Structure 1
Amino acid sequence: MTRGLQHLRVLVAEDEFIVANDIALLLEEAGATIIGPTPTVRETLKSLSIADDIQVAVLDINLNGELIYPVADELARRQVPLIFFSGYDSLSLPERFSSAARLSKCLGSAELVSAVFEQHLQNLSILTPVGSPFHEQSIVDLVPGLRLRARRLMGDMVAADGLVERTLERAIVLAPLRCRSQSLAEWLHALMEVIHSESPYGPN
C-alpha cells in the first residue's frame, strides 16, 4: 500500500538532513502529518513532551552518535508502534524492542509507507471495544477473507485489492466510531460493502 495515511501523526527522528527531508515529504504525500523531523535524541524527547497524540514513529537508531533508545522507551510506554529505519543492518536491538518493525534505509519508499500503514493498523487491531462479546482477530488475519470477498464483488484481482486497501484506509478514520457490539470482521466486511456501493468500479 502506497497511499492513504489519512493525516496519521507520524514522528520522524533522523539526523541526515536529506534523508529526513525525503522521509517527511514521502509520508506527507501519502497523507501523514509529520512531527519533526528531529536530528537529536534531546530534540526528539522535547517533541514528545509537547506531542501526546503520536500514532506511529519512524526512528533512526543512531542520532548524531547517540542511540535512540530513550525515545523508543517513552514511545513504547505510550504504546506507539515503532519502526526502526536505519543503515545499521548488523546492529542488534535490545530485547525489549523485539516486536518493533525494522527497515533498512536501502529499501524503497513504498516499503516505508506500507510499514507505517501496517503498524498503525496492527495497533488498532488489538483495541477490543469495551464490553464486546466477541473474541477479536487481528486485522492481518482478516485480510485474506477481505480479499476473497473483494474479488467476488469486483471480479478483477487488481481492482479487488484496491477495494481492500480503500476499506482499510477508511477503517483507520472510522475506528473510534465502531459499534461496541460488532465484531471486527463483521465491521470490516460491512464497511467494504458500503465502499463498493459508493464506487462499484473502483476509485474515480
Structure 2
Amino acid sequence: MIRDLQQLRVLVAEDEFIVANDIALLLEEAGATIIGPTPTVQETLKSLLVAENIQVAVLDINLNGELIYPVADELARRSVPLIFFSGYDSWNLPERFSTAARLSKCVSTSDLVSAVFEQHLQNLSTLTPVGADFYEHNIVDLVPGLRLRARRLMVDAAAADGLVERTLERAIVLAPNRRRSQPLCEWLHALMAIIHSESPFGPN
C-alpha cells in the first residue's frame, strides 16, 4: 500500500475490537500515527486530554450504546476534520455536523485511506500559511482535474489516485518555492508530470 499519510495523527474511536484493530492497522500501513482506538465515549474524551495535534478523527457514531457527539463537539472546537464511520445503512447527524464526512463500514480500504487524506487536505486548504500563497485557491476544487490527468497517465485507478496523493504531498512541501506568477493549477499538473516520470515504472 502506498504510504501517503506521512505520520498523520489520526484518532480512532470504535467499539468493535476487530474493526478497530483493522482500521488502526490499515492506517498505520498507510503511514499514519494512531491515537486509540478507544471503545467508549468516556475513554475517548480522556484521550483528548493528553493527545496533541490530532489531525483527523475516524469516529463510530455509537460506542457501546452511547452517541459519539460529545467527542465530535470537542474535536470540532479544535477544528479537527471528522469522518463518521458507521455500520448503519442510513443515519441522521445533527445539523452542526452536516459538513462532516460519512463512510459506511462496507467501504474499501483504499476509500478509507483516501477519505482520511482528503479530510486532512481540505483542512489544510482552509489555513493560511506564513510567507506563502499556496492556498489562494481551494486545493480540493482542483483535485478532480488532477485525478482526470492522473487517469490519463496511469491505467490503474488506484495507481492514479496514488499519483494524485503523492503530487499533493510534495506540493505541500514545495509550496514556498513556487513562483508567484505561476498559476496553482498549472504548477500542480507540472509537478504531477515530474513525479510520474520519476516512477519506477516510468511514464506510461
TM-score range with shorter-chain normalisation?
0.7 to 0.9
Q: Deviation per CA, 1:114-143: give whole Å up to 9, x if none.
A: 111111111111223357678722222212
Look up the SS of the partner of 2:166 in the other structure. helix
Cα pair 2:60 2:68 within 8 Å, conserved: yes
Alignment of 1:54-69 (within 5 A): 54-69=54-69
Partner of 1:15: 15
CA distance in 1, matches of 2:170, 2:27: 18
Cα pair 2:126 2:135 within 8 Å, conserved: no
- For these two proteins, the number of residue pairs brought into alignment is 199
Cα pair 2:57 2:82 within 8 Å, conserved: yes
CA distance in 2, matches of 1:185, 1:76: 30
- The TM-score normalised by the length of structure 2 is 0.81
Change (3 A) 1:180 1:3: closer
Partner of 1:95: 95
Deviation of 1:3 (Å): 4.4
Q: Match of 2:69, as an amino acid?
A: Y
Q: What stretches of structure 2 of length at least 5 have no aligned partner? A: none
Deviation of 1:166 (Å): 1.7
- RMSD between aligned residues: 3.0
Change (3 A) 1:16 1:143: same
Deviation of 1:67 (Å): 0.8
Q: What stretches of structure 1 of length at least 5 have no aligned partner? A: none
Q: Deviation per CA, 1:163-202: give whole Å up to 9, x if none.
A: 3332123345x27x63598465465346435535644854
Q: Match of 1:113, as an amino acid?
A: V
Partner of 1:138: 138
Look up the SS of the partner of 1:178 in the other structure. helix
Indicate whether 1:5 and 2:5 are aligned.
yes
Cα pair 1:14 1:38 within 8 Å, conserved: yes
CA distance in 1, matches of 2:199, 2:87: 42
CA distance in 1, matches of 2:145, 2:86: 34
CA distance in 2, matches of 1:113, 1:61: 19
CA distance in 1, matches of 2:161, 2:67: 39
CA distance in 1, matches of 2:130, 2:22: 40
Q: Match of 2:176, as an amino acid?
A: R
Q: Match of 1:115, as an amino acid?
A: A
**Greater length-normalized contact order (CA 8 Å, ≥ 6 residues apart):** 1
Q: Match of 1:57, as an amino acid?
A: A
Q: Match of 1:178, as an amino acid?
A: P
Change (3 A) 1:23 1:132: closer
Deviation of 1:27 (Å): 0.6
Partner of 1:195: 195
Partner of 1:178: 176
Q: Percent identity?
A: 80
CA distance in 2, matches of 1:18, 1:135: 39
Alignment of 1:2-151 (within 5 A): 3-130=3-130, 136-147=136-147
